[in-house]
Amino acid sequence: AALAGVVEYRNVTFAYPGAESPVLSNISFTARPGQTVAIIGSTGAGKTSLLSLLPRLYDPVEGEVLLDGVPVSRLDRAEITKRVALVPQRPYLFSGTIEHNLRFGKSEATDRELWDALRVAQGESFVRDKKNGLDARIAQGGTNVSGGQRQRLCIARALVTKPRVYLFDDSFSALDVATDARLRAALKQTTADATVIIVAQRVSTITEADQILVLDNGRIVDRGTHEELLETSPTYQEIVES
């Protein structure tokens, strides 16, 4: 199972270069293929920072991040990118066609694969509605599509690469609740064998996660399923009620 997609954070502490105090302290968890691990916590808690360590946008100052048992510090970025897809919190589109944007991570993808990804990402109908379909042009930064459309195109782009590990950073926040629910149901099928780590603002997005990590001020203060945390975690209860 060398390419299974097991993610392990082992006692990870991280500070941004030049900063004095860490934004993540002693983070440990494991996410396995077939599982969804959710990360929730208030703004500035360190959720985006935590995700950024797996694709090595930054490296920890202490501890290790492992992919299939190998420290990612020993893997080159291209190797990681083949196995891990990050959908960033501010999804970015290039000036060019929709097709160009979707093929970004995997240039040899077929049109069929692009449409399959769009279908899962709930982006099929708005791309179909465009006069030029996949050839429709996206302005620099994606300014001519809505925030929710941008999110869905970036989710589709990740799906096209068929990674072992998906990192979704607040990727569903611009979607209405119904679209969010449809997208997650479709994703659940498509990513059933993959490892999914998902940062969310809305609790409704993550109630079915196998494990929820409650992040507060760079630390995991509680962990468990939604039902367990409702019973045991005052921090989680606060998030649910907010």
- Binding stretches for ligand CTP (CB under 6 A): 16, 19, 23, 41, 43-49, 89
Binds 43, which of Mg ion, ligand CTP, none (CB < 5 to 8 A, cut-off by type)?
Answer: ligand CTP
Minimum CB distance to ligand CTP, residue 63 (Å):
16
Phi, then psi, of 104 in degrees rounded to 5? -50, -45
Q: How many other C-beta atoms can be found within 10 angstroms of the C-beta atom of residue 185?
A: 11
**Angle (nearest 5°) at CA 152 between 148 and 155:** 140
Which 36-75 residues touch Mg ion, going by CB under 5 A?
47-48
Which helix (H) or strand (E) is 165 found in, with range? strand 165-169
Nearer CB in complex with Mg ion: 92/185: 92
Nearer CB in complex with ligand CTP: 89/207: 89
Minimum CB distance to Mg ion, residue 199 (Å):
6
Per rule CB under 5 A, is residue 151 in the interface with Mg ion?
A: no
Minimum CB distance to Mg ion, residue 45 (Å):
8
Q: Do 46 and 60 meet the contact criterion of CB atoms below 8 Å apart? A: no
Binds 44, which of ligand CTP, Mg ion, none (CB < 5 to 8 A, cut-off by type)?
Answer: ligand CTP
Minimum CB distance to Mg ion, residue 47 (Å):
5
Three-state SS at 50: helix
Nearer CB in complex with Mg ion: 47/106: 47
Residue with tokens 């005052």: 234
**Angle (nearest 5°) at CA 159 between 154 and 165:** 105
Partnered with residue 39 across adjacent β-strands are: 199, 213
Q: In what order do the strands lie in the sheet with 7-14?
A: 24-31, 7-14, 62-67, 70-71
Q: What CA–CA distance (Å, rounded) separates 45 from 178? A: 27
Binds 192, which of Mg ion, ligand CTP, none (CB < 5 to 8 A, cut-off by type)?
Answer: none
Nearer CB in complex with ligand CTP: 16/137: 16
Minimum CB distance to Mg ion, residue 203 (Å):
16
Nearer CB in complex with ligand CTP: 110/217: 217
Q: Which residues bind Mg ion (CB under 5 A)?
A: 47-48, 89
